[in-house]
Every structure is written in structure tokens, then in C-alpha cells.
Amino acid sequence: MNRTKMRIATTLLLGAAVLVCAASPLLAQDGNRARPRPAAVESQDMQPVVSPQDGAPAPTTDGAAAADADAAAKPGAAVQEAKNNDAVAKIDPNAPSPDDADAIAATVNDESISDYEVRQRMALFLSTSNIAPNQLSDEQRKRIRGQILDRLEDEKVQLQEAVKKKITVSPVEVDKWINNMISSSHITIQQLRTSLTAAGASEDALRAQVTASIAWQKAVNDEYGDRVNVTPEMVTAELARYAEGANKPHYRLVEIFLPVDNPEHDAKVKKDAEEIETQLRQGASFPMVARQFSQHPTAASGGDMGWVVDGQLAPELNSAIAKMEPGAISDPIRSTGGWYIVGLSARQEGLGTKIADVQTGATGPAGTLPLARLLFPIGTHPPKEELEQVMKIAGQIQAHYEGCGHLEELQKKMNGTVYMNLGDAKLAELSPQIQEAMKDTRPGESAAPFMSEAGVELIARCDKRVVQQTAYTMPSKSEVEDQLFQVQIAALARRYLRDLKREANIQVRDDSKPDALIR
């Protein structure tokens, strides 16, 4: 596979259901710039493209998936196994009965999308996005269902194009992609399956979505593999532009982009964007929502745009970002091509800026710290499996800690745990374990969990978080080359899908008229 085709493979896995969720709406990113994810490894044992209805055999290797801190902290998803036989009904109370599972929700060029597919994909999305079904209003549920159906229509068009091109996706490729998705986190494939089952989602729904993503990646590769051209002159000019902006602030951004291909649809797309924003502010995982709904190649990496220099984006986007604090998300912003929701993951000051270190340890009067305590009272000698599970949950909470108020809210969701506001405590008067845990913490952080005689302890600071500032560093030549490539392929891929949908015959059921399909 040549370099251009490899880049296409790594940047066009649109909508893949990568199960990396976090309690925080933004995904923490390391390094200076986002690099394309590894492409799915091509298999020697190729099979015809699998349609969403068909599914495929389950992965046989164990991997890992990052569990969302809030969801993992709930009883049944953490210390005990979740048993939720009516999960689908909770996701969609108005869903047809099992006897109506094959009812047609839409058709795309005479291929149907069933209500069952829509419900399964909705369950998959909610279970991996930190959205509690019982917190959704009927209007929110209806809108999410519409977004899911739109995405399934896109996938159907993409799969049909892949079939025309005689593109194949093997079960082995799907296995490898899923295992790659979960390999960087901390649960087994069996735990992933248990989580999906508890949420009313099937593994086949996940495999179908991954299959469609791989097939579309290959279709774009076939169509545009020889048309994307990043010249040395373009890279040199871009590096010069970066040098010109080196003294300006730089922003690490994530995005969700909803295109407006027809001006008549602008109001509807805006409403969709507003609904997505609501989901994010209610705690939905930005990366997962981006992978599900964003129509930009950055969707494959959870919406990660990498580092952007002040003034690089359109004025309406740049002005909103400049006012944001790290960790914040924007309201929907109308810009070139459609509506954007942007999140600020981190900020860098201009090249050469002198950065002061944030003070660690006791910062209050007389060596005090405002502290809170979350205790998992599992005894001094719990079973090994239980201890590992609780330590894992506590570690996830620590990684996504958002303040003592957030900690107190989490405790209310976890039966048997104890929350205590310790007030302004003198560090020197606390136990040696707590002193050791807190000595290197910064304002607004939580210490790593530890085992005490009472159980697993999580001690957190209640003061306002102070973000450690960093100074800008210049990108490498290869990073600039990759960024220029993504700009080109994004435009080509959007146009490709837009043209395919314009030529397609898509009909959607009108629920006010049983058995009627409308455009």
C-alpha cells in the first residue's frame, strides 16, 4: 500500500464505534498534534462486504475498552454484573414489540433499514456515550433516533458503493479493528460483551458499524487514491505559515461537524447540532458522539483536530475558541460548509513564553487543603477480583475528576460508598497515606486511589483547578504533510457521499401514516 493510500486508510474510518468514553466531555490528548490512527490490517482471507443486517463472528482475542467513569461507577456496571432485560424498552419506550422487529424504518435503493437495526444502533450509541436513557425526554429520544437513522442511511449508501466496486471486508479485519479499538484500555472482550448486553445492544450492531466504516474507507481509497497530492512546495509553505504564527496562542481542538448540503436544510441541521450540544453538556462522551455523528475525517479519532494556531480557522470559529477555557465546549457555530461544535482540550502560549509551574501540595493558610473523601468500604481483605474492580473504578474516577461536587454526585449513584467533605484540612495532621497521596497534587486534582483499613480511598482537592500552561513547539514536516492531506481528503470524501446520496432513492417511513414511506 503506497503512502497516499495508507493515509486514506488511516483518516477515513468515519463513524467507527470506537468504545473510548470518558466522564469529561473532552478526550485528553497527549503530544503536540494528532497523528492518523493505524489502518486496519488487510487480511488474506477476504469475504464479500458484510451488510449491517448480517453481522459477523465475534472477536476471539481479548482486548480492552476504556469504561466511562460515571457509567462504570454505577451499581451493576462496576462491582456487580448488570442485568437489564428491558434495556431496549428503556432506550425507546415507544419501540415496536419483538413481533414488529422487521418493520421497515427506511429504504435506500430498495434495500431496507429495519426498526430493529435502528434500535440496536441507538442502544449501542447510548451505551458507549455516557447518555442515560432515562434522562432523555421524548423529544430528545426522537431526535437521536433521527440522527441514528440518518447515519444508517449513509452507511447503506456507502456499503452499496463498496459492493459496486467489488470491495471486500473479512471477519478477520473486523476482529482486528475491534481489538485495536479496545487494546489501549483496561477491560476484556468479555467485559465489553457484557456491557453491550446490559445496555440492550448486540455485538452484531457494533460489528456492522465497523464493517461499514472499513468498506467506506476502501471505497474512498479506490476512488481518490491517485488524486490526493501533497507537494513539497505545499508543505514548505505551510511550515512557513506555522513559523509566522509561532508567537501566537495555539489550541488543541476537537470538533463535531454537521454539513449543510442544501440551504433548505440549514434549520434542521442546526437543531441537530443543538441536540448534540445538549447531550454533551449532560455528560455524553465527546469522542463517541463525534465518531457517531461528525461528518469529517476527524471523526475517526474522536473529532481530534490537533493543534490550531490563533487566527487559522474561520473568524467565527476562532473568536469563539479564543474565549474558551480548556475543557469547555462551544455552542453550535455556523461556518463554512455547515455547523460546528468545538471543544478546547488544551492551550499553548506563544513560542518562548516563560511558563510558571503550578504549585503542588498544601496551598491554603497554615498548610491547609480543601479536601473531600470517597470511600469504597470493602473491608481490609476483600476478594482479589473485587479489589481489582473497585480500584479500577476509583482510578477511572480519578482520571476524569471534575471537582468535589462531581464526586458527591457520583457517590449518589454508587450504593454503599461514602462521601465526606473534609473541609480545610491541615496536611500535616492527616494520615501518612493521605499526606503521601496529596503532596504532589495540583489545585483541583484527585490523588491516586489507595487501600486503607476502611477500604479503597479516593482523596480529592476541592479548590479550583489551575491548568498548567505550556509553550508552543513547531510541528514536524511529516505532521504538516498529514494535516494537508486530511484537508484534501475531507473535501473529497464529503463530496463523494453527497453525490451518492443525491443519486440514491431514499424513503423514510412516515410514522403518522402506518406503512407509508416518504422522502
Confidence of residue 88 (pLDDT cuts 50, 70, 90): very low
Is residue 263 one of the residues assigned to a domain?
Answer: yes
Beta bridge partners of 91: none
Torsion of CA 304, 310, 313, 316, to 10 degrees: 110
Is residue 513 one of the residues assigned to a domain?
Answer: no
Number of structural domains the chain divides into: 3
| Across 197-222, average pLDDT | 88
Q: Which residue has the higher pLDDT, 319 or 130?
A: 319
Query: What is the reported pLDDT for 64?
Result: 32
20 closest CA partner among 257, 202, 178: 178
Q: Which residue has the higher pLDDT, 51 or 396?
A: 396
Contact in structure between 365 and 463 (CB atoms under 8 Å):
no
- Range from 38-52, 125-139, 369-383 carrying the lowest mean pLDDT: 38-52
Query: What is the reported pLDDT for 295?
Result: 86
Reading the block at residue 323, the C-alpha cell is 474565549
Report the share of the chain in percent with pLDDT over 90.
23
Residue written as grid cell 463523494: 496
- Range from 117-126, 189-198, 199-208 carrying the lowest mean pLDDT: 189-198
Burial degree of 273 (CB within 10 A; 0-12, 13-18, 19+): buried
48 closest CA partner among 155, 159, 152, 175: 159
Residue 77 pLDDT greater than 50, yes or no: no
Q: Say if residue 136 is in the same domain as residue 47.
A: yes
Residue 414 pLDDT greater than 60, yes or no: yes
HEC secondary structure over 427-490: HHHCCHHHHHHHCCCCCCCECCCEEECCEEEEEEECCCCCCCCEECCCCCHHHHHHHHHHHHHH
Query: What is the reported pLDDT for 49?
Result: 47
| Across 68-77, average pLDDT | 34
Residue 79 pLDDT greater than 50, yes or no: no
Residue 407 pLDDT greater than 90, yes or no: no
Q: Say if residue 396 is in the same domain as residue 380.
A: yes
Q: Say if residue 394 is in the same domain as residue 347.
A: no
Is residue 449 one of the residues assigned to a domain?
Answer: yes
Is residue 511 one of the residues assigned to a domain?
Answer: no
| Residue 104: CATH number of its domain | 1.10.4030.10
Residue 151 pLDDT greater than 60, yes or no: yes
Residue 499 pLDDT greater than 80, yes or no: yes
Contact in structure between 508 and 149 (CB atoms under 8 Å):
yes
Beta bridge partners of 374: 419, 458
Question: Alpha carbon of 470 to those of 67, 148, 181, 294, 368: distances in Å?
Answer: 29, 39, 30, 29, 27
Domain boundary (226, 245, 280) is at 226
333 closest CA partner among 428, 256, 398, 432: 256
Domain boundary (226, 245, 274) is at 226
Q: Say if residue 59 is in the same domain as residue 147.
A: yes
| Across 231-236, average pLDDT | 93
How far apart are alpha carbons 71 and 128 in whole angstroms?
A: 9
Query: What is the reported pLDDT for 237?
Result: 92
Query: What is the reported pLDDT for 126?
Result: 80
Q: Which residue has the higher pLDDT, 23 or 508?
A: 508
Reading the block at residue 233, the C-alpha cell is 512546495
Is residue 507 one of the residues assigned to a domain?
Answer: no
Return left, alpha or beta for 383; rule: phi > 0 is left, psi -120 to 50 is alpha, else beta: beta
Residue 408 pLDDT greater than 90, yes or no: no
Q: Residue 300 is which amino acid?
A: A
Cα 337 to its chain centre, rounded Å, is: 22
Count the neighbouring beta carbons within 10 Å of the beta carbon of residue 514. Answer: 8
Confidence of residue 475 (pLDDT cuts 50, 70, 90): confident
Domain boundary (171, 203, 226) is at 226
Q: Say if residue 76 is in the same domain as residue 180.
A: yes
Residue 63 pLDDT greater than 70, yes or no: no
- pTM strictly above 0.75: no
Residue 84 pLDDT greater than 70, yes or no: no
How far apart are alpha carbons 97 and 157 in whole angstroms?
A: 28
Q: Say if residue 264 is in the same domain as residue 378.
A: no
Quote the crossing angle between the two packed helices 203-224 and 171-182, to the nearest 10°: 110
| Across 195-203, average pLDDT | 80
Q: Which residue has the higher pLDDT, 413 or 338?
A: 338
- Range from 88-92, 422-426, 430-434, 494-498 carrying the lowest mean pLDDT: 88-92
Phi, psi values for residue 355, rounded to 5°: -110, 125
pLDDT digits (tens, 9 = 90+) for 23-61: 233 333 333 333 333 232 233 333 344 433 333 333 333
Query: What is the reported pLDDT for 341?
Result: 97
DSSP character string of 355-377 = -PPPP-S--SGGGEEEEEEEEE-
Residue 127 pLDDT greater than 80, yes or no: no
Residue 242's domain spans which residues? Answer: 232-355+470-501
Confidence of residue 366 (pLDDT cuts 50, 70, 90): low
Is residue 181 one of the residues assigned to a domain?
Answer: yes
Q: Say if residue 315 is in the same domain as residue 185.
A: no
Q: Say if residue 29 is in the same domain as residue 127.
A: yes
Confidence of residue 8 (pLDDT cuts 50, 70, 90): very low
Q: Residue 62 is which amino acid?
A: D
Residue 68 pLDDT greater than 70, yes or no: no
| Across 485-512, average pLDDT | 87
Please provide the average confidence, as pLDDT, over all residues in the chain: 74
Q: Which residue has the higher pLDDT, 470 or 66?
A: 470
Residue 457 pLDDT greater than 50, yes or no: yes
pLDDT digits (tens, 9 = 90+) for 257-271: 999 989 999 999 999
Count the neighbouring beta carbons within 10 Å of the beta carbon of residue 390. Answer: 21
| Across 332-343, average pLDDT | 95
Q: Say if residue 251 is in the same domain as residue 281.
A: yes
Q: Say if residue 157 is in the same domain as residue 127.
A: yes
Q: How many CA atoms lie within 13 A of 161 on its CB side?
A: 27
| Residue 447: CATH number of its domain | 3.10.50.40
Is residue 517 one of the residues assigned to a domain?
Answer: no
Q: Say if residue 215 is in the same domain as residue 239.
A: no
Cα 242 to its chain centre, rounded Å, is: 28
Q: Say if residue 157 is in the same domain as residue 185.
A: yes
- Residues listed for the chain: 519
Is residue 508 one of the residues assigned to a domain?
Answer: no
